[in-house]
Amino acid sequence: MNGFTLLLARDLRLAWRRPADAAVALAFFIVAACLFPFGVGADQQLLTRIAPGVLWAVALLATLLPLERLFLADAEDGALDRLALGPHGLATLVLAKAAAQWLIVALPLLLAAPLVALLLNMDGRGFGALIAALALGTPTLVLIGTVAAALATGARRGGVLLALLALPLELPVLIFGAGAIDAALAGLPFVSHLQVLAGLLLGSLVIAPFAGAAALKLALE
Amino acid sequence: MNDLIGESFIGESLACLRGERVVFAGLDFALGSGGALLLTGANGAGKSSLLRVMAGLLPPAAGQLWWDREDVTREPEPHRARVAYLGHQDGVKAALTPREDLIFWLRYRAPRLDKRAAEARAAEALDWAGLKALGDLPCRVLSAGQRRRLALARIVFDASARLWLLDEPTSTLDAAAAQSLNERVASHRAQGGMIVAATHQALDWPDAISLDLDIYARRRAAAATRGLFLNDLA
Contacts of A17 in chain B (CB under 8 A): 95-96, 138
Amino acid (1-letter code) at residue A97: K
The yes-or-no verdict on residue B227 having pLDDT over 80 is no
Q: How confident is the model at residue B225 (pLDDT cuts 50, 70, 90)?
A: low
**Does A2 reach chain B within 8 Å, measured CB to CB?**
yes
The yes-or-no verdict on residue B2 having pLDDT over 60 is no
pTM of the model: 0.89
Among chain B residues, the shortest Cα distance to A221 is held by: B58
Condensed to tens digits (0 to 9), the pLDDT of residues B75-85 reads: 888 898 889 99
Condensed to tens digits (0 to 9), the pLDDT of residues B90-148 reads: 989 989 999 999 999 999 998 888 889 999 999 999 999 999 899 899 999 999 999 99
Provide the shortest C-alpha distance from residue B108 to chain A (in Å): 6
Query: Mean pLDDT over residues B15-24, rounded?
Result: 83
With b for 16 or more beta-carbon neighbours within 10 A and e for fewer, the A186-204 pattern comes to: eeeebeebbebbeebbeeb
The answer to which of A1-15, A119-133, B22-36, B214-228 has the lowest mean pLDDT is: B214-228
Please count the residue pairs, one from chain A and one from chain B, whose beta carbons lie less than 8 angstroms apart: 77
Asked if B159 contacts B127 with a C-beta cutoff of 8 angstroms, the reply is no
Beta-carbon separation of A10 and B104 below 8 A: yes
Residues B118 and B182: their CA atoms lie apart, in Å, by 24
Condensed to tens digits (0 to 9), the pLDDT of residues B156-203 reads: 999 889 999 999 888 888 888 989 999 999 999 999 999 999 988 877
Percent of chain B predicted with pLDDT > 90: 42
Query: Mean pLDDT over residues B1-7, rounded?
Result: 56
The yes-or-no verdict on residue B226 having pLDDT over 70 is no
Residues B185 and A55: their CA atoms lie apart, in Å, by 58
**Does B87 reach chain A within 8 Å, measured CB to CB?**
yes
Beta-carbon separation of A13 and B111 below 8 A: no
User: Who has greater pLDDT, B1 or B189?
Assistant: B189
Residues B213 and B43: their CA atoms lie apart, in Å, by 10
Interface test with A, best of B23, B79, B85, B93 (most A CBs within 10 A): B93
Residues B61 and B42: their CA atoms lie apart, in Å, by 22
Which residues does chain A have with pLDDT short of 50? Answer: none
Residue/partner pairs of B130-133 with CB below 8 Å, 24 or more apart: B130/B177, B131/B98
The yes-or-no verdict on residue B228 having pLDDT over 80 is no
The yes-or-no verdict on residue B1 having pLDDT over 50 is no
Q: How confident is the model at residue B3 (pLDDT cuts 50, 70, 90)?
A: very low
Residues B105 and B118: their CA atoms lie apart, in Å, by 9
Provide the shortest C-alpha distance from residue B52 to chain A (in Å): 8
Beta-carbon separation of A13 and B100 below 8 A: yes
Nearest in space to A57 (alpha carbons), one of A165, A169, A167, A200: A167
**Does B162 reach chain A within 8 Å, measured CB to CB?**
no
The ipTM estimated for the assembled molecules is 0.88
Contacts of A89 in chain B (CB under 8 A): 77
Quote the pLDDT of residue A158.
77
For the beta sheet containing B70-71, the strands, ordered from the edge strand earlier in sequence to the opposite edge, are B21-32, B8-18, B62-67, B70-71
Beta-carbon separation of B55 and A3 below 8 A: no
Residues B34 and B5: their CA atoms lie apart, in Å, by 10
Contacts of A77 in chain B (CB under 8 A): 89-93
Among chain A residues, the shortest Cα distance to B108 is held by: A3
H-state helical runs in B110-213: 115-129, 144-156, 175-190
Quote the pLDDT of residue B165.
94
Contacts of A88 in chain B (CB under 8 A): 108, 111
Residues B132 and B125: their CA atoms lie apart, in Å, by 9
Strand-pairing partners, residue B166, are B86, B197
Beta-carbon separation of B77 and A1 below 8 A: no
Quote the pLDDT of residue A121.
87
Beta-carbon separation of A88 and B96 below 8 A: no
